[in-house]
Amino acid sequence: MAHPSQLGFQDAASPVMEELLHFHDHALMIVFLISTLVLYIIVAMVTTKLTNKFILDSQEIEIIWTVLPAIILILIALPSLRILYLMDEINDPHLTIKAVGHQWYWSYEYTDYEDLAFDSYMISTQDLTPGQFRLLEADHRMVIPVESPVRILVSAEDVLHSWAVPSLGIKMDAVPGRLNQTAFISSRPGVFYGQCSEICGANHSFMPIVVEAVPLEHFENWSSLMLEDA
């Protein structure tokens, strides 16, 4: 959960998000070192009164400033490609959930169950209870089991939407007439918040996503209650 004045990412709740955080720190350190070197060169060039005619035409320096950036780009590209492939991996999911975007709410279908489906609307400000978050709470949460591979099928009924939960490292576009898929594993119990991340109309800001990760036993109890109510 993000908090006011937060500068970094939310705490990771999935292995993929942990990898993304590590890659962010890796790339940020490279950018920091490059910025420091460039700043030092600028300050040195502005403040020094000495000149060296051999610097004006030097094969060695040209080789260095051509090869070094290429090596740096490789050091950034290889971890990035690795994470891209990891994010596309879907290995034997234990649960499949279809998330469909509407103007302006989400509906969820647990396709492994016969009649387990519901709509998820934002709770209005006047109906919030103490401890709930404004613009982020939904009347029905998407409940998933902890440490189980979950596949999400994402689509939309009307316009473009985007199903995004930052702490799980997920952002998948919801396109009418198209079924996109992604997968994740929640590494710890908790409640994780997200929002539609594609401008989809007047109430785009009012269709939150709430994912609740619980132990498998609690998930089975919840699914049984939902099926009984259905």
Decide if 109 contacts 97 (C-beta within 8 A). Answer: yes
What is the token pair recorded at 17?
Answer: 């998000």
In whole angstroms, give the CA distance from residue 167 to residue 20. Answer: 10
In whole angstroms, give the CA distance from residue 22 to residue 227. Answer: 41
pLDDT category at 174 given cuts 50, 70, 90 is very high
15-88 maps to which CATH number? 1.10.287.90
**pLDDT > 90? residue 89:** no
Which fold would CATH assign to domain 95-229? Answer: Immunoglobulin-like (2.60.40)
Question: CB within 8 A of 219, min separation 6: which ones?
Answer: 143, 144, 145
Residue matched to tokens 């051999």: 54
Cα–Cα–Cα angle for 58, 62, 66, nearest 5°?
170
pLDDT tens figures, 99-158: 999 999 999 999 999 889 999 999 999 999 998 899 999 999 999 999 999 999 999 999
Q: Where are the domains of the chain?
A: 15-88, 95-229
CA nearest to 186, candidates 11, 15, 1: 15
Torsion over CA: 132, 154, 181, 26 (sign): negative
pLDDT tens figures, 179-219: 999 999 999 999 999 999 999 989 999 999 999 999 999 99
